[in-house]
Amino acid sequence: MSQRSTQQPSHHPVPRLQASREQMFKQPNSPLRSQIRLGLAAIAALLPLAIAPAPSPAAEQLTLSYDSIALDVSVADVEALADQNSPVPRSFEPYIPFISPQQLESIQQGLGYRLSPDSVMLSQFLNSPVGERLLHRLGNLVKVDESQRVALLREAFITAAQADTGLTVMNLLRAYPEETLNLDLKLALTLVEENSRIYGQRSAVVKALWDAARTEGYSHDPLPGGLERQQPGPISWQKEEIQFQNPGRDQPSQADLYLPQQLKGDTLAAPASEAIASSLGPTTKQRTDVIVISHGLASDRNTFAYLAEHLASHGFGVIVLEHIETSSERFDRFLRGEEGPPAANELIDRPRDITTVLDYLTQQAQGNPALQQLNLNAVGLLGQSLGGYTVLASAGATINRPLLTQQCDQSLSELPSLNASLLVQCRGPELPPETDFKVQDSRVKAAFAINPLTSAIFGPSGLKKIQVPTLIVASINDFFAPALPEQIEPFSWLETDSKYLLVSSPATHFSFLGSEKKDSVLPLPPGLIGPEPKQTFNLMEGLSLAFFQRHLQGKVEAESYLSQDYVHQIDSGAFEFGLFRELPNSFSQAVKAVEK
């Protein structure tokens, strides 16, 4: 690490408020009076962002600056405020009339929140392009010299993470080298407003969607088609690994190929290897429809094995990709410092993995009768998170580079966004101008996208290019790809004739993931993971099967399962689901009411 200058960053003097806090709050036109309720509720969450490291003494006070006004709050009182069993410190008493008991509790919980990240892994992340972009955004809240913000923030987070008590607000404050810490309250309030738009509307949005969902379905009549879609199918299958070479990658990629084998005594399809194929005897000329699955960041081929097995048991050939630059193994090496971060070109290479594996199997089928059973000219796609972006791009959504550049530049300079997915989407402008953004594959006939990233990288003009049937899944408690800006609003941009939106509460970004691995590459607190994900598996298995049977195989009877009635007949434990073909009028009204 290079040496840092010992010169202290310059600060513009901020006039001190001479009038008492009580007098200021009584001013009817004070900008703080109208916004203080939201601002104070967010202070606990924002404090960790406003730090600069050094081995010198901890800060003794915070200065909350709003234009020419500055308010001082004792750091000792902040620490005392975190104790929910102690009285509210006297310095905070003037603020109490402006916050509710629930907001005060939220502040106290935020002050007590604790993470225990590995300091080496945290260092690797914060030195990556994504981590540096995050630090740039957070640095806008701190009134310190711009040239030093990233280095100061990075060092402070790493130092705080090494504390025995973990990464906490107070440990971050203790890393601050000066007596006073200056936080831009005006920008913080702007961030709070975005937080209200993304997350504060959730209760109103959920109520509007659920009210609309409850007006449909509930007939509980037997659905057509015999076997319930969430039940395993009657067809045996076999899995084997294949390798293919994406021209944009330096090394071969892997995928698991699930091949159905028997149906009514005849071979439906045979495994790719000649040894296994010959052991099964002759094959029929019946075609096997194919689905390609794309995992998210820091996941792998195991993440959606449960869906691959279910779809294969119902006669689909399933290709489960492993995107090597964003797989769990690769991400683990990056966090340990053994590899660099994923390149921005991954936004192009991921959808091209889909095209490449289809090309590879088409070529291999010329000399392998077992693969000739696969219908590779009309395929379905399923993906989650970054994989959700991947399948939408392959299905025809176009990358909107001007919008992406505009939104990312604005987010970086004006608003340190709470939409974490922008950290990934905003890698797009790093791609060279000559980059070929055309990644659509005409063989894709249906797309199932779970928690996809869409708002900046596609926008309305990009998503409306999709012409194939599309189903989008949104999780109300998703803090990585927030439901409202990334799935619910973008759903209305789709112009395809067949589109569906599945909304779940209290689902998170991780509520539909399954894996054979016991430990995640990214250890997360239980609150971010949510209820046990296995409770969602039956619904995801049944709904994905019905979707592909209807829109890939043309089975009209499967349409009955793409309904609110079917969704409500599945026992999903702690989860509640709503399935929509269009956003209800009550949804738009609820959003407008909250925005007022």
Q: Which of the 8 DSSP states describes residue 252? A: -
| Helix/strand/coil for 275 | helix
- What's the whole-number mean pLDDT along residues 345-363? 97
Per-residue pLDDT of 394-453, as tens digits, reads: 999 999 999 988 888 765 455 556 688 888 898 899 898 888 889 999 999 999 999 999
User: What does the pLDDT look like over 332-342, one tens digit per residue?
Assistant: 666 555 666 67
DSSP string across 163-180: STT-B-HHHHHHT--SSE
Q: What is the mean pLDDT of residues 500-524?
A: 77
Question: What is the H or E stretch that residue 181 is in?
Answer: strand 180-184
All domains of the chain in start order, with CATH: 21-200 (no CATH), 206-595 (3.40.50.1820)
The residue with greater pLDDT, 562 or 479, is: 562
Segment among 274-288, 506-520, 546-560 with least mean pLDDT? 274-288
Q: What integer pLDDT is reported at residue 127 of this predicted model?
A: 77
278 pLDDT band, cuts 50/70/90, is very low
Residue 3 banded pLDDT, cuts 50, 70, 90: very low
For the segment 529-546, the average pLDDT, to the nearest whole number, is 94
Q: Specify the higher pLDDT residue, 307 or 1.
A: 307
Q: 150-154, 468-472, 484-488: lowest mean pLDDT where? A: 150-154
Q: What is the pLDDT, as a whole number, of residue 591?
A: 62
- Quote the pLDDT of residue 18: 35
308 contacts 275 by C-beta, under 8 angstroms:
no
* pLDDT averaged over every residue in the chain: 77
Of 346, 344, 299, 339, the C-alpha closest to 321 is: 299
- What pLDDT score does 198 carry? 61
Calpha distance 449→457 (Å, rounded): 15
- Tokens 């797009």, located at residue: 428
- Exposure letters 277-302 (e unless 16+ CB within 10 A, then b): beeeeebeeebbbbbbbbbbbbbbbb
Strand (E) or helix (H) holding 387: helix 386-394
Place of tokens 């994504």: 130
Report whether pLDDT(353) > 50: yes
List Cβ neighbours of 554 (8 Å cut-off, separation of 6 or more). Answer: none
* Confidence at 271, pLDDT banded by 50, 70, 90: very low
C-alpha 52/C-alpha 144 separation (Å) is 9
Task: Return d(Cα 33, Cα 36) in angstroms, integer.
Answer: 5
The pLDDT tens digits for 166-201 are 777 777 777 766 667 777 767 766 665 666 566 556
